[in-house]
């Protein structure tokens, strides 16, 4: 290891703050600002001060090494991109307000790249002509731009941020699956090396194959994503990707029976009135799918996730029905709809509404419900969809145990894109048989600046940051108390450690009490803190391990030997 400079706190641009910034909601936001790692420039746009830049560089280096190791080639594309390719792909308009758009002096339209599928497709179209040129994987670590409606949580969700994006290009589906597997394994190694606790979850429903898209999530209270995981098997998924089994029931049920149910405007009042649990009732939500009235049936105790419904039915447009729609359809009795009487209305349902299950539901007349309405006997489901909001305790689709819901930060996403962009830009190469072959593509991202926030979230405690060694801005933080003998010992310790190749932060600031310096050291979160304090004259120092809080007094020579071991 080469000799390193000692970074002196007396000159370091890392002013610590005692107070939390007013707008900071999350732990990482508060601590990264207070410990002098970042400063806000404008909403969602951040300056990385020296300590922050070091952590960012450490993350980038690990990402780069693992991308190189799978044979991906590093390039650097512009952030300032012309409109045309994004018009071809449709994303110039699809992105809406999320895109930063601008004009140059000649009035030509540009955007600041939020992600680069279009441009990489064009690069490969320029560079590759034959199947012999593929497979190829390209990546960059680059500044990205997204005009978030509500930038928040510091560098966790910024409008300008650092991202590693990579793209694979293959001639076959098998090739794409291999490139995807290489990325998946590289991402596992990256997050392992970074020291990030993470889960890999399906990002799309099992119906689409399951492996076509996965997210890497770092569990953290500040996370904006919710995911489910199973305490008894290794199942984990984005809540949007959870699927529930359809389990038909074999049972004899009494015949349908209508009951008067006045003054039961809600599921709760209905269930109380009839003395049944809400889960025994069937709620029928009416929506319009591309203008066609459609009913969606779910148990009365569950909520429909309209976002999921929209995704299942895309590109069809889903809207809620209005009072006018009811006026046009006197057969639909608002508040008393039941599937058993809906001749011409398409009926979608949650898998819990399985064949053979019996329900209390609307009788399609005012103030009246029906009991013993049996799926398959009294009504048919046109299509089963997973559209209910997942709740803790829902059965694991793999083993049936009760699922947990946790919050997490999305730190990576891998995605088998397929031929969408190759189709848009006509990306073909000459195949083995001499005919053009359309290229298939994968897209893979890691939020590099976001990973810094995730690391801060996962490792911090009430005293401050506590970085894993691989990403810490220094290896040892040497704290000198104020007397000459203490400062001299600290200087000697720092020089020796730096001479051994360790990265050393030396608190040589004058006029501060040892207590203030130690508080700052705990806030800054370097893995080891070495204090030259009251026993300095005897060459005895205190060595503190930041993450565990263990501290011990020992001779300087022994401390140095231990740190440089």
Among residues 112 and 411, whose Cβ is nearest to a copy of itself?
A: 112
* Pairing relationship of beta strands 528-532 and 101-103 according to DSSP bridges: unpaired
CB of 96 to a copy of itself, least distance (A): 9
Long-range contacts, stretch 95-103, CB < 8 angstroms, 24+ apart = 97/147, 97/149, 98/146, 98/147, 98/148, 99/146, 99/147, 100/145, 100/146, 100/147, 100/159
- Dihedral through CA 78, CA 82, CA 85, CA 91, nearest 10? 90
Among residues 154 and 223, whose Cβ is nearest to a copy of itself?
A: 154
Contacting residues for 142 by C-beta, under 8 A, at least 6 apart: 76, 77, 79, 113, 162, 163, 165
CB of 147 to a copy of itself, least distance (A): 5
CB of 132 to a copy of itself, least distance (A): 7
Instruction: List the one residue out of 339, 384, 329 whose CA is nearest residue 361.
Output: 339
CB of 9 to a copy of itself, least distance (A): 11
CB of 489 to a copy of itself, least distance (A): 22
State how far the Cα of 393 lies from the Cα of 488, in Å rounded to an integer. 60
Among residues 97 and 328, whose Cβ is nearest to a copy of itself?
A: 97
The first and second tokens of residue 533, run together, are 């304090």
Among residues 53 and 253, whose Cβ is nearest to a copy of itself?
A: 53
Beta carbons of 110 and 102 less than 8 angstroms apart: yes
Beta carbons of 212 and 364 less than 8 angstroms apart: no
Among residues 113 and 297, whose Cβ is nearest to a copy of itself?
A: 113
Residue 414 φ/ψ, nearest 5 degrees = -120, 140
The first and second tokens of residue 485, run together, are 């003998």
Beta carbons of 352 and 298 less than 8 angstroms apart: yes
CB of 427 to a copy of itself, least distance (A): 14
Instruction: List the one residue out of 434, 387, 409, 455 whose CA is nearest residue 52.
Output: 455
Beta bridge partners of 288: 293, 319
The first and second tokens of residue 349, run together, are 């349902």
Among residues 41 and 269, whose Cβ is nearest to a copy of itself?
A: 41
Among residues 142 and 239, whose Cβ is nearest to a copy of itself?
A: 142
Among residues 50 and 310, whose Cβ is nearest to a copy of itself?
A: 50
CB of 50 to a copy of itself, least distance (A): 4
Give helix 448-459 / helix 27-34 axis angle, nearest 10°: 100
CB of 289 to a copy of itself, least distance (A): 30
Among residues 48 and 191, whose Cβ is nearest to a copy of itself?
A: 48
CB of 505 to a copy of itself, least distance (A): 12
Binding site for a copy of itself (CB under 8 A): 5, 10-15, 36, 39, 41-42, 45-50, 52-53, 56, 68, 71, 73-82, 97, 100-102, 104-105, 108, 110, 112, 119, 123-124, 126-128, 132-133, 136, 138, 143, 145, 147, 149, 159-160, 510
CB of 58 to a copy of itself, least distance (A): 13
Among residues 13 and 323, whose Cβ is nearest to a copy of itself?
A: 13
**Sign (positive/negative) of CA torsion 314, 319, 325, 330?**
positive
CB of 4 to a copy of itself, least distance (A): 10
Instruction: List the one residue out of 450, 456, 465 whose CA is nearest residue 155.
Output: 450
User: Is 83 in a helix, a strand, or coil?
Assistant: helix
Sequence-ordered strand ranges (E) for 350-495: 358-362, 368-374, 383-384, 404-418, 428-430, 436-438, 440-447, 476-480
Among residues 148 and 325, whose Cβ is nearest to a copy of itself?
A: 148
CB of 260 to a copy of itself, least distance (A): 53
Q: What is the CA radius of gyration of the chain?
A: 30
Q: What is the DSSP string of 157-171?
A: B-SEEEEEEEEEEES
Q: Which helix (H) or strand (E) holds 491?
A: helix 484-499
Among residues 405 and 512, whose Cβ is nearest to a copy of itself?
A: 512
Among residues 103 and 551, whose Cβ is nearest to a copy of itself?
A: 103
Among residues 52 and 300, whose Cβ is nearest to a copy of itself?
A: 52
Report in angstroms the alpha-carbon separations of 307 from 97, 240, 310, 381. Answer: 19, 9, 5, 21
CB of 60 to a copy of itself, least distance (A): 11
CB of 388 to a copy of itself, least distance (A): 33
State how far the Cα of 64 lies from the Cα of 140, in Å rounded to an integer. 9
Lateral strand order in the sheet of 282-289: 318-320, 282-289, 292-299, 346-349, 383-384
Residues in the chain: 565
């Amino acid at each position: 290891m080469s000799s390193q400079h000692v970074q002196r706190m007396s000159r370091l641009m890392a002013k610590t703050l005692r107070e939390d910034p007013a707008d900071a909601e999350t732990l990482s936001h508060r601590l990264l600002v207070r410990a002098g790692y970042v400063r806000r420039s404008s909403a969602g746009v951040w300056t990385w001060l020296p300590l922050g830049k070091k952590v960012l560089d450490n993350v980038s280096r690990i990402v780069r090494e693992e991308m190189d190791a799978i044979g991906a080639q590093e390039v650097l594309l512009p952030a300032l991109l012309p409109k045309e390719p994004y018009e071809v792909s449709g994303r110039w308009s699809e992105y809406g307000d999320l895109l930063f758009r601008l004009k140059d002096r000649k009035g030509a339209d540009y955007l600041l790249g939020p992600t680069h599928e279009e441009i990489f497709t064009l690069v490969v179209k320029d560079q590759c002509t034959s199947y012999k040129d593929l497979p190829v994987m390209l990546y960059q670590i680059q500044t990205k731009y997204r005009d978030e409606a509500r930038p928040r949580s510091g560098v966790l969700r910024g409008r300008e941020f650092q991202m590693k994006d990579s793209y694979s290009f293959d001639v076959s589906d098998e090739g794409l699956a291999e490139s995807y597997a290489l990325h998946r394994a590289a991402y596992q190694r990256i997050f392992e090396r970074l020291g990030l606790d993470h889960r890999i979850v399906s990002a799309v429903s099992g119906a689409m194959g399951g492996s076509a898209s996965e997210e890497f999530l770092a569990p953290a209270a500040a996370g904006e994503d919710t995911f489910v995981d199973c305490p008894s098997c290794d199942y984990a998924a984005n809540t949007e990707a959870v699927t529930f089994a359809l389990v038909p029931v074999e049972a004899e049920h009494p015949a349908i029976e209508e009951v008067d149910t006045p003054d039961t405007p809600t599921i709760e009042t209905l269930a109380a009135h009839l003395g049944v649990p809400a889960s025994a009732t069937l709620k029928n939500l009416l929506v319009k799918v591309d203008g066609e009235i459609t009913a969606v049936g779910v148990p009365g105790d569950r909520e429909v996730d309209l976002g999921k419904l929209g995704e299942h039915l895309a590109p069809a447009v889903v809207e809620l029905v209005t009072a006018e729609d009811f006026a046009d359809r006197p057969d639909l009795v608002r508040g008393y709809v039941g599937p058993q009487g809906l001749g011409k209305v398409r009926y979608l349902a949650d898998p819990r509404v399985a064949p053979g299950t019996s329900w209390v539901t609307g009788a399609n007349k005012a103030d009246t419900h029906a009991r013993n309405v049996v799926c398959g006997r009294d009504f048919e489901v046109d299509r089963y969809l997973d559209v209910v909001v997942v709740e803790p305790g829902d059965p694991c689709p793999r083993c049936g145990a009760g699922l947990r819901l946790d919050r997490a930060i999305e730190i990576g996403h891998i995605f088998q894109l397929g031929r969408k962009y190759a189709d848009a830009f006509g990306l073909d190469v000459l195949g083995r048989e001499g005919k053009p072959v359309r290229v298939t593509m994968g897209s893979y991202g890691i939020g590099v600046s976001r990973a810094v926030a995730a690391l801060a979230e996962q490792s911090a405690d009430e005293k401050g940051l506590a970085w894993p060694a691989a990403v810490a801005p220094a290896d040892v933080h040497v704290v000198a108390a104020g007397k000459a003998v203490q400062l001299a010992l600290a200087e000697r310790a720092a020089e020796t450690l730096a001479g051994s190749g360790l990265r050393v932060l030396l608190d040589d600031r004058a006029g501060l009490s040892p207590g203030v310096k130690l508080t700052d050291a705990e806030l800054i979160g370097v893995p080891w803190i070495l204090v030259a304090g009251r026993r300095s004259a005897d060459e005895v120092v205190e060595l503190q391990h930041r993450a565990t809080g263990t501290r011990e007094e020992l001779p300087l020579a022994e401390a140095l030997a231990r740190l440089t071991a």
